[in-house]
Chains A and B, each alone.
Chain A
Amino acid sequence: MRAISNLKLYFSNQYKSFKRSRFLLLIMLPGIIYYIIFHYVPMYGLIIAFKDFNIYDGIINSPWTSNYGFKHFLELFNLPIFYRILKNTVLLSLYTILFSFPTPIILALCLNEAKNKLWKNTVQTVSYLPHFISTVVICGMITNFLSLNGLVNNIVSFFGLERIQFLLYPKYFRTIFVISEIWQQTGWNSILYMAALSQVNPELYEACRIDGANRFQQILYINIPSIIPTAIILLIFKIGGIMNVGFEKVLLLYNPNIYETADVIGTYVYRRGILGAEFSFSTAVGLFQSVIGFILVVITNKIAGKVSEVSLW
């Protein structure tokens, strides 16, 4: 009897809560439908990675593949190109993190020391600008600056070196990609560090000064420790996103001459899937990428939670 009345109470509470929030549920209904159609249905659509999808049979009726549905994955793992695109994806991300992670921190630390407000604001406004420029324009600038007659080659030839078509040589691609990422995102990524720095208690500086610390030591012992939690959170995001390298940018910059270093998982999926219409195979490639990415986010988040008590959830 007790159990039943508890159950009754539970449902009547649920019903009251439902009744009370029916307006809220109503206005969020379009949002819920959006998430179902454009996020969860595509997730369901991932099952075509285990099928031989064709347009006529559709997602549900297309036949399962051999090897218990894993045919496309086995095919992928047996392709030499798989190891190339995996390596390129990971390396491009790692280099980007390695070189573009410290720059916003350095910028924020320097901005924090600038005394003139107008000058500080000017530097900030200017440094955020590239973030708002589209990938297409950025890549257009890169392509044209690096062309034989472009800005970079003008500089190269000023120093008496030979003009080079940089985008035709695999060895330059990663450098080009990373430098342009630094140029575009350093300012924007410094915002969160600036916020962390503005939270520092001014008394700390006073105490530090009395102890005889110079300004560099103040940065070392106060400012840097105060932005470490922010840095860790951002690093989690970056490492979790290793598999999603800025593939749109690669797509706009690369060409068959430099596939060796430039071709990443995303661009390969695009070529095989959209241009080649091999839907099932390329979905399998994409799924592989998503699963690894998801696992990485979970792991890095666990580690960060242990290390610093900061984590995403």
Chain B
Amino acid sequence: MVKGYNMKKANLYSVMFDVFINIILAMVVVVTLYPFLHVVSVSLSDPYAVMQNKVNFYPVGFNLNAYKSVLSNPYIWISYKNTIVYTVVGTAVNLVLTTAMAYSLSKKYLFGRKFFSIFTTFTLFFNGGIIPNYIIISKLGLIDSMWALILPIAIGTWNLMVMRNYFEGLPSEIEESAAIDGCNPVQVLVKIVLPVSKPIFATMTLFYAVWHWNTYFSPLLYLNDKEKYPLQIFMQQILITGETSFANTVVGIEDTNLLISNTVKYATIMVAILPIIMVYPFLQKYFIKGVLIGSVKG
């Protein structure tokens, strides 16, 4: 009897515990998603309803005018195109340089391996900072060039280490037998290592692409030409400054009132984050792997 009573008590405790845990998790979901839900709702609402603070959880006076207004602005298309170009080219450069260097560093017999490890790792802990970088880039004549956004971050040291760890973890037998068969290291890399490295490539592509897609400070420093601005600069001018000629073209000069600009701002946010939201859940299993590989030796 007593035992049965204790069992029941323990079960009740366990159920209560589960309820408590799941309430916390549900709160995490709500708190994370609610801001996005609000942004979507406002972007699809009637500006007057927004003005009267009626929009909280769902669109009021559903319409797509804000999106029409955003998409009719030539600069969002220009900046979107620029961001895509910078992201694609930048990520390609990242992948080639990072892979080549990580593969070399992963080989125990590399000449000067210890030196090159310190040579790269040190940059994680110490760097020249904003101004010397700015001077170098302007001396190289990269101001107002897309290469100013790509070359200075051609290799992310952290990503390099993640990739090196991945390559080190690959079984060495196949590579060795290929080498005995007369393949040089480049052939080994291309024919044997790369085909088995898809997960790490998926991870690196995601990390680098998001990095390029989201970068704001380098274009702020290095680009002056409006036609070359990426999406993030455009966003900053619409969302935060909100009073430049940029914003005026979006909103329409006569309509620079708060009403429309609020729904337009929120629609701009949606247009900018939609590609990331749509792509990233599918890549989740890869990037988690990537984070973990990196942490093994970090």
Binding site for B on A (CB under 8 A): 14, 17-18, 20-25, 27-28, 30-32, 34-35, 37-39, 41-46, 48, 53, 59, 106-107, 110-111, 113-115, 119, 122-130, 132-137, 139-141, 143-145, 149, 151, 154, 157, 183, 186-187, 191-192, 195, 214-216, 230, 233, 240, 248, 251-252, 266, 269-270, 273-274, 279, 282-283, 286-287, 289-290, 293-294, 297, 312-313
Q: How far in angstroms is the closest Cβ of chain B from A154? A: 5
Q: Which of A129, A134, A149 contacts B32 (CB 8 A)?
A: A129
Q: How far in angstroms is the closest Cβ of chain A from B77? A: 18
* Contacting residues, chain B, for A14 (C-beta < 8 A): 111
Q: How far in angstroms is the closest Cβ of chain A from B168? A: 14
A64 to B20, CA, bound (A): 65
Contact A34 B132 (CB under 8 A): no
A31 to B96, CA, bound (A): 10
The 6 tightest CB contacts between A and B, nearest first, are A42-B128, A140-B239, A45-B132, A31-B101, A134-B214, A286-B129
Known: A45-B128, A129-B277, A137-B273. A20 touches B39 (CB 8 A): no
Q: Which of A43, A139, A191, A240 contacts B240 (CB 8 A)?
A: A139
B226 CB-CB contact with A under 8 Å: no
A28 to B163, CA, bound (A): 14
Closest B residue to A270 using CB positions? B130
* Contact code string B152-177 (vs A, CB < 8 Å = 1, else 0): 11110000100000000000000000
Chain A at the B interface: SS class? helix
Q: How far in angstroms is the closest Cβ of chain B from A163? A: 10
Contact B258 A27 (CB under 8 A): no
Q: Which of B127, B128, B239 contacts A136 (CB 8 A)?
A: B239
Q: How many residues of B contact A (CB 8 A)?
A: 91
Closest B residue to A24 using CB positions? B104
Q: How far in angstroms is the closest Cβ of chain A from B170? A: 15
Q: Which of B24, B28, B103, B121 contacts A126 (CB 8 A)?
A: B28
Chain B at the A interface: SS class? helix
Contact B38 A297 (CB under 8 A): no
A297 to B126, CA, bound (A): 10
Q: Which of A25, A48, A119 contacts B25 (CB 8 A)?
A: A119
* Contact code string B183-210 (vs A, CB < 8 Å = 1, else 0): 0111001000000000000000000001
Contact B236 A140 (CB under 8 A): yes
Q: How far in angstroms is the closest Cβ of chain B from A235? A: 14
B5 CB-CB contact with A under 8 Å: no
Contact A114 B125 (CB under 8 A): no
A144 to B36, CA, bound (A): 13
Given contacts A45-B133, A136-B235, 13 further A-B contacts (CB under 8 A): A21-B111, A23-B184, A25-B104, A31-B98, A37-B140, A48-B131, A122-B29, A186-B28, A192-B295, A252-B216, A252-B236, A274-B221, A282-B131
Q: How far in angstroms is the closest Cβ of chain B from A296? A: 10
Known: A34-B97, A286-B131. A24 touches B110 (CB 8 A): yes
B91 CB-CB contact with A under 8 Å: no
Contact B216 A135 (CB under 8 A): yes
Contact B25 A43 (CB under 8 A): no
Q: How far in angstroms is the closest Cβ of chain B from A152? A: 10
B86 CB-CB contact with A under 8 Å: no
A145 to B262, CA, bound (A): 10
Known: A39-B127, A114-B25, A119-B25. A140 touches B136 (CB 8 A): no
Chosen A-B contacts, 23 in total, with CB atoms closer than 8 Å, are A24-B103, A24-B104, A24-B107, A31-B160, A32-B119, A34-B154, A38-B151, A39-B127, A48-B131, A59-B135, A110-B24, A111-B25, A114-B25, A123-B29, A134-B213, A134-B232, A134-B273, A136-B239, A139-B239, A252-B240, A274-B134, A279-B135, A287-B129
